[in-house]
């Protein structure tokens, strides 16, 4: 995180501060990755919030889309596949627990 330029490290630290209390809930995980993304994905089992990044827009100006899994195919499945691929190679954030399910997969 510290090797990133601009305001991104500060934004990451701010987000970590906002998530501090949520990370104490069993089953909640946070990981870091180095993949360049053009959206933010927040995954909650069969639901997710997707926030695409818009050129020259500030964070509060980006739209947020709520997706629900309705079947094995479609938009949710496409984002879920991307999420799972990146998640599998991401490193747990320091001080955050890793669920037993993911420890068995490693």
Asked whether residue 1 is assigned to any structural domain, the reply reads: no
Which are the contacts of 68, defined by CB distance < 8 A and separation ≥ 6?
Answer: 46, 47, 76
- Which element (helix H / strand E) includes 16? helix 8-19
Query: To which residue do tokens 């990755």 refer?
Result: 33
Asked whether residue 81 is assigned to any structural domain, the reply reads: yes
For residue 104, what pLDDT band results from cuts at 50, 70 and 90?
very low
Asked whether residue 103 is assigned to any structural domain, the reply reads: no
Beta strands in 24-97 (DSSP E): 31-32, 39-44, 47-52, 65-68, 91-92
Number of domains in the chain: 1
For residue 58, what pLDDT band results from cuts at 50, 70 and 90?
confident
Asked whether residue 39 is assigned to any structural domain, the reply reads: yes
Asked whether residue 63 is assigned to any structural domain, the reply reads: yes
User: What's the domain range around 82?
Assistant: 8-94
- pTM for this model (two decimals): 0.66
Nearest Cα residue to 75 out of 41, 37, 30: 41
Q: Which is more confidently placed, 85 or 27? A: 85
Asked whether residue 99 is assigned to any structural domain, the reply reads: no
pLDDT at position 102 over 60: no
């Amino acid at each position: 995180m510290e090797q990133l330029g601009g305001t991104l490290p500060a934004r990451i630290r701010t987000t970590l501060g906002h998530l501090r209390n949520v990370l104490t809930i069993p089953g909640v995980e946070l990981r870091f990755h180095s993949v360049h993304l053009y959206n933010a994905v927040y995954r909650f089992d069969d639901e997710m919030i997707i926030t695409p990044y818009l050129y020259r827009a500030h964070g509060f100006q980006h739209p947020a889309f709520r997706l629900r899994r309705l079947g094995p195919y479609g938009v949710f499945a496409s984002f879920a596949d991307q999420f799972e691929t990146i998640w599998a190679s991401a490193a747990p954030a320091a001080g955050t627990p890793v669920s037993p399910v993911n420890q068995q997969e490693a």
